[in-house]
Structure 1
């Protein structure tokens, strides 16, 4: 048993512990028994490696269960929660720690509380809350605010728990339309520096809006900036029903496309592969900063970084272990992601799909010619691999199946690199010279107009999508069948190689 396999089993044990604890309240007695059994096997079977590893896995499983329970207990018993539904409005000093989420009629501010003011006395307090207020005046990342209002517990809407949804972001309570007075951020602070980066993003957004009109402008802003605020509900539904909503979320596919384009470009202009690798990682980090550290993009960047690292050291075959290790690290930092963050589930499954099915789809799509720069076959193989692995989770959470998704993805996904490159070029130029940016926006406008026409046409088909719900048992059955299917295909692939 190799060291990398042992690490894999330990990571899976930790993830399993968090999974069990997120579904069941595990008694302390059982956790203690797992720990004692693990110590017993580890101490008395030191020379029998499989049993030793099994014992350590039991200990790690117990730690996974404990990690979730302790984090949940700390969340539920946070001091700030004592002021939910308080008898009178409370006063707090807080800082905006996330780019404001601007909606059509209001704005959501994620703020970190610094002090609670009671009888003009400041009491140090920690915790994050979500504040819903009017769109104006405008607020920015890093703003320091004095807020007067009533804290509320996030509600439950039928099967959807808003409290669980916000828990993954560490948000303890919500507040609706409080009184807000603003204080300037301290100059030179990290928030002021990051605010300048977000200011640059706003300039890119303005350049897009000046050169294009909706829905082209709103779709492009989502594709290159991760900004979905201006996509109308009508277009969100169209993207969902045609299986193209993933285009508007900066995800693994976007990051991989960017890394591929950057790597190819840097190598083409004379950089060594090692130099191109480090420069690409640096550019991707700056890009993630610019789009506001969106969780989906951060996860995608981590996965892409692992994939690039595997390529660099020549160990692509071990990439699935690296991804599981990364997933375990993310869950160690925030165990609520596994149950409450659909984005985490989709990101993880999408990457696993690419790892296990990418080569299979490449073989099925061998009729597509290989291209040095665009590599259409790779893009389609990656898209279909990810979609197969994420399909059950999408149906379980959103209750529909897009029947036209394979065809719409074939018609549109190959154009995504061109949309991204042309969009970045004209928006960057448009910051400094609006007229030239407008002239350079024509290729992006043409591609986006084609995209919207395709979406409109397929959306109008009566069989575009089916609405139905599935239980978690069907999700489990699907993944068991999929696992068997992948195993059989991989075995067949291995025997073909041996026969050769």
Structure 2
């Protein structure tokens, strides 16, 4: 049992196993299997006076609860879609949690959470997230998608994502559902997008504050640095290639250095090291400095929308 004193891998395995069982089996089968597993884990822990089996069982149950929540959310979304009957014209409002840094043939995308959906059939609290796409022909900041943490309202046509069409084709509907995205809102242009200021609860208010801090830092960089250097610094710090001009993007791509402007674990590590050095210079002890750095790094990653490389590094 010495191996299980730090059961990182066993906990991960039990978490995945619990999520898989709940995903593949119905509720009755899961309960029938969970009851004897609980009795065995509790009995083993009592006989050996070791809490490891119960600890592992907890992570299995945690994975099962997580998957059950996602299944319920997906079913709720399916019920709403059945009620409104997509494709349907509607208006939505919500908080931006992810946004494109550059266009795909003139089309931008961003993801909304905390979505309120308004249709002719009524108003619904949309479960999960909603993917919004719109086409933009402009190159100014008003033509770019909103940034993470911003609240927007949009009008367009809500549709189902493309499903499985042939053996060699992708199933975008299933891929998006794994990201808790169950529908797509197609907006004709930026004229149907509008920034709003709703009444916020604690968590959305935190994201809104982070967005304000990001905008303030971006403005400061633009004002304190020369124009070109300010754009480069803003893009590098906030993973935002929208502030770069077409000529600068072309030069970076031709030189093979464009990947530097995609926030990765290297950027997070450099930022953490700079903050740690500044903390030590300011007289903080190692533990206090590391704690402060960890908090700032997590806020920074939340500010830029939790891109996977930065999230893993944090």
TM score, norm. by length of structure 1: 0.46
Structure 1 counterpart of 2:287: 274
Q: Which has the higher strand share?
A: 2
| Shift in alpha-carbon separation, 1:160–1:212, aligned structure 2, 3 A | farther
Following superposition, the deviation at residue 35 of structure 1 comes to: 1.6
Q: Which SS does the other structure have where 2:159 is aligned?
A: coil
| Among 191, 210, 214, the residue aligned to 1:198 | 214
| Shift in alpha-carbon separation, 1:160–1:238, aligned structure 2, 3 A | farther
Q: Which SS does the other structure have where 1:47 is aligned?
A: helix
Following superposition, the deviation at residue 236 of structure 1 comes to: 9.9
Following superposition, the deviation at residue 199 of structure 1 comes to: 1.7
Query: Residues of 2 paired with 1:162 and 1:188: CA distance?
Result: 32
Structure 2 counterpart of 1:210: 227
Following superposition, the deviation at residue 114 of structure 1 comes to: 1.4
Structure 2 counterpart of 1:117: 119
| Shift in alpha-carbon separation, 1:258–1:153, aligned structure 2, 3 A | same
**1:176 and 2:192 are equivalent in the alignment:** no
Following superposition, the deviation at residue 221 of structure 1 comes to: 5.6
Query: Residues of 2 paired with 1:117 and 1:272: CA distance?
Result: 56
| Among 158, 164, 168, the residue aligned to 1:150 | 158
Q: Which SS does the other structure have where 2:146 is aligned?
A: coil
Aligned length: 287
Query: Residues of 1 paired with 2:211 and 2:81: CA distance?
Result: 30
After superposition, the C-alpha distances for 1:263-297 in whole angstroms (9 at most, x for unaligned) are 23332453332342343234324433443443543
Structure 2 counterpart of 1:235: 253
- After TM superposition, the structure 1 = structure 2 runs for residues 78-93 of structure 1, keeping only pairs within 5 Å, are 78=77, 79-82=79-82, 86=86, 89-93=88-92
| Shift in alpha-carbon separation, 1:102–1:82, aligned structure 2, 3 A | farther
Residues 80, 125 of structure 1: 8 Å contact kept: no
Q: Which SS does the other structure have where 1:160 is aligned?
A: coil
Structure 2 gaps, min length 5: none
Structure 2 counterpart of 1:287: 300
Following superposition, the deviation at residue 205 of structure 1 comes to: 7.5
Query: Residues of 2 paired with 1:166 and 1:237: CA distance?
Result: 34
Residues 4, 52 of structure 2: 8 Å contact kept: no
After superposition, the C-alpha distances for 1:414-442 in whole angstroms (9 at most, x for unaligned) are xxxxxxxxxxxxxxxxxxxxxxxxxxxxx
User: Cα RMSD (Å) of the superposition?
Assistant: 4.3
| Shift in alpha-carbon separation, 1:131–1:35, aligned structure 2, 3 A | same
Q: Which SS does the other structure have where 1:109 is aligned?
A: strand
After superposition, the C-alpha distances for 1:179-222 in whole angstroms (9 at most, x for unaligned) are 72536324898265344223235437857893259xxx77x666
| Shift in alpha-carbon separation, 1:16–1:37, aligned structure 2, 3 A | same
After superposition, the C-alpha distances for 1:108-158 in whole angstroms (9 at most, x for unaligned) are 132342142326xx5232232111112365453534314132322244584
Q: Which has the higher helix share?
A: 1
- After TM superposition, the structure 1 = structure 2 runs for residues 21-420 of structure 1, keeping only pairs within 5 Å, are 21=21, 25-26=24-25, 31-45=30-44, 46-49=46-49, 53-54=52-53, 57=56, 60-61=59-60, 64-65=63-64, 67-78=66-77, 79-82=79-82, 86=86, 89-98=88-97, 100-104=99-103, 105-112=106-113, 113-118=115-120, 122-127=122-127, 128-135=129-136, 137-138=142-143, 140-141=146-147, 142-156=150-164, 158=168, 160-178=170-188, 180=192, 182=194, 184-186=196-198, 190=205, 192-200=208-216, 202-203=218-219, 210-211=227-228, 223-228=236-241, 235=253, 247-301=260-314
| Shift in alpha-carbon separation, 1:185–1:257, aligned structure 2, 3 A | same
Structure 1 gaps, min length 5: 302-500
Residues 156, 187 of structure 2: 8 Å contact kept: no
Q: Quick check: which has more Rg, 1 or 2?
A: 1
After superposition, the C-alpha distances for 1:381-437 in whole angstroms (9 at most, x for unaligned) are xxxxxxxxxxxxxxxxxxxxxxxxxxxxxxxxxxxxxxxxxxxxxxxxxxxxxxxxx
Structure 1 counterpart of 2:15: 15
Query: Residues of 1 paired with 2:69 and 2:254: CA distance?
Result: 38
Residues 163, 172 of structure 2: 8 Å contact kept: yes
Q: Which SS does the other structure have where 2:277 is aligned?
A: helix
Query: Residues of 1 paired with 2:160 and 2:272: CA distance?
Result: 43
Residues 90, 116 of structure 1: 8 Å contact kept: no
| Shift in alpha-carbon separation, 1:85–1:296, aligned structure 2, 3 A | farther
Which shows bigger deviation, 156-165 or 263-272?
A: 156-165
